[in-house]
Structure 1
Amino acid sequence: MVAESALAIVVVNYGSSKLLERNLVPVSDALPGAAVYVVDNRSSESEAVRVSSLAARHGWTALLQQGNTGFGIGVNIGVEAARAAGRTRFLLINPDATIDAGSAQRLLAAVEGDAPVVAAPVIEDGAGRTWSAGHVLDLRDGSTHGRAWARRNPHAPVRRWLTGAVLMINEAAWNAVGGFDDDYFLYWEDVDFSLRVEDAGGALVLAEDARAVHDEGGTQGIGDPDVHAKSPVYYYYNVRNRMLLAQKLLGPETARRWDASSVSAAREVLLRGGRRQLLRPWRPLRAVWRGWRDGRRIARRSSGA
């Protein structure tokens, strides 16, 4: 059994100190042997002060950035700080997620040994519904789906991936791929990471006996109670990064195929924020259009056009 003293908890924060206080404090209290690293992607001076104060009170390490580096770079900063301190197991967890000690120990057991392994729990939302039990990427069109869809479509050409919302990584897996890809900024970097771990001979494990809770969107709403859209950042990078992954990992033929369905894919991302947002459409529509435009540029670059 991997000792808790090998564990580092890495959280990338952006303007979410209240969520850290609500969610990360009980996680760190439940795992007293773990080291906690909070990478604060600066949203404001006052937020940096709050993160520093939380870290001082609870014995965390606050890694204060001068700007917003994005999720992947933030993870890399936190994990490398943990590695420098001798930690060899890394639990990534979002500010809006929690996990109990027993489930964290089951994830640790899942990544035991010298082989590269990445493990995730079954993740529920605040109402107890399954939010994530592993995912698949449909290679035909770049759409992503959950386990239920995969069971209904057993012959579809897919690749498995695990969400970065709650993810346990051992040092062998980290070394095998060199961490997260900096180019994504936000979204799809966990899909990219999962595919590269498998391509490097590593294993992706869904620990069905481990549970976590994720209040999805706690850090990406637009702050208007009457319009339940995601933020423009959410729309832009979800649309753009689909094509970035195709270009980086899957080749020009796949990029061309995904580009052909890019309009319907962008529409699907937009509708994740609900239809009421379309009463005030310009912010979400502009972000989706920019993501679609830049994704098409990536597709043309991939095909040499």
Structure 2
Amino acid sequence: MSSGIEQGSAVREKVAVVVVLYNSAEHLSEFVTSLPVGLGGVDHELIAVDNASTDGGAELLESLAPDATVVRTGRNGGYAAGINAGVAAAGPHTAVLVLNSDVRLLPGCVPTLLQRLRATGAGIVVPRLTDADGRLIESIRREPTVGHALWEAVLSARVAGRIGRLGEVVTDPRAYEKEQRVDWAEGSTQLISRRCWDVCGPWDESFFLYCEETEYNLRARDAGLGVLFVPTAKAVHLEGGSSVSVDWLWSLQVTNRVRLFRRTHGRASTTLFWAVTLGREISRAMLGRSKNRAAVRGLLDVRRLRGGVVAR
């Protein structure tokens, strides 16, 4: 596919907006209404991928946005699989905007992201996120390492993230006031250039949920493109509740981190990363936290660490 839509000697931007639906009906009316504000007149195509929802979300979106393309996968293959199906169904485009259905773009978000995408040559650009109450969402991340895992286990992620580069999660609010290259960022709102997609290929569907954006962002970085955090582009992530067990979700997140780490590290480093992670989860489980007990079980399940999980 062409990397752009030519118009004379200039490239006319067209953004493929991809949203993955899984029982997301409660968010869709406000999601569709808010899109024009954040897109600011940018030419776009909305592609909604329904991962076998049971709440009528696909039909609701068709009624709210008749021009949208709705892809029914017939299965819940996970977030990455949904994104890939959406991009595969899109018409010609110069960039892909991946959005959660509970994201609300603020005025001018997408034009600002597009401008910085082209001006800097980054492969992926992400906005500054706040929650429904206006609080900063700490969305910037560093690459997972044994050191980051150890410091977060000892100090907590919040404390480690405020001290130099000790933590993986960047929790110093001052970092969110400046534009900067980052290793990866939370995946609810990411604008990906067509060139980045062509170079890096589709998202890794072996990560059903969690770490799929980590893997893709690090892949873009290693390809010389990378991720740019743009604080002047802003969005709200409602971070709504889920009908899925919180314990199961946390266990999945923890085990997927070990799986991702193993992709690019040897046995000794991976064993150490796993041991540090297991120690952290055991220490929290001893405080009576059920989600950490679930993570301990997941970390001791060899099958999950090797192959991931399927829909629950």
**Is this a same-fold pair by TM over 0.5?**
yes
User: Corresponding residue for 2:4?
Assistant: none
Aligned residues: 279
User: Corresponding residue for 1:91?
Assistant: 97
- Of residues 128, 135, 139 in structure 1, which corresponds to 2:141? 135
1:152 maps onto 2:167 in alignment: no
Structure 1 169/11 Cα, relative in aligned 2: closer, same or farther at 3 Å? Answer: same
SS of residue matched to 2:17: strand
Maintained 8 Å contact 2:17/2:44: yes
User: Corresponding residue for 1:46?
Assistant: 56
Tell me the TM-score normalised to structure 1 length: 0.78
User: Corresponding residue for 1:69?
Assistant: 77
1:170 maps onto 2:181 in alignment: no
Report deviation, 1:113: 6.6
- Of residues 194, 207, 210 in structure 2, which corresponds to 1:184? 207
Maintained 8 Å contact 1:180/1:189: yes
More helix, by proportion = 1
Describe the superposition over 1:164-186 as per-residue Cα deviations: whole angstroms up to 9, x where unpaired.
11111001111221121111010
Report deviation, 1:35: 0.8
Q: Unpaired segments of 5 or more residues in structure 2? A: 1-9, 170-181, 308-312
Structure 1 297/96 Cα, relative in aligned 2: closer, same or farther at 3 Å? Answer: closer
1:34 maps onto 2:44 in alignment: yes
Structure 1 122/30 Cα, relative in aligned 2: closer, same or farther at 3 Å? Answer: closer
User: Corresponding residue for 1:235?
Assistant: 250
Q: CA RMSD in A?
A: 3.4
Separation of aligned partners in 2, 1:160 and 1:203: 7
Separation of aligned partners in 1, 2:285 and 2:254: 9
Structure 1 146/80 Cα, relative in aligned 2: closer, same or farther at 3 Å? Answer: farther
- Of residues 22, 25, 30 in structure 2, which corresponds to 1:17? 25
Maintained 8 Å contact 2:109/2:233: yes
Tell me the TM-score normalised to structure 2 length: 0.77
1:293 maps onto 2:308 in alignment: no
Separation of aligned partners in 1, 2:264 and 2:284: 22
User: Corresponding residue for 2:123?
Assistant: 117
Separation of aligned partners in 2, 1:269 and 1:92: 34
Equivalent residue letter for 2:35: V
Q: How does 1:49-60 map to 2 (within 5 A)?
A: 49-56=59-66, 59-60=67-68
Q: Unpaired segments of 5 or more residues in structure 1? A: 223-229, 301-305
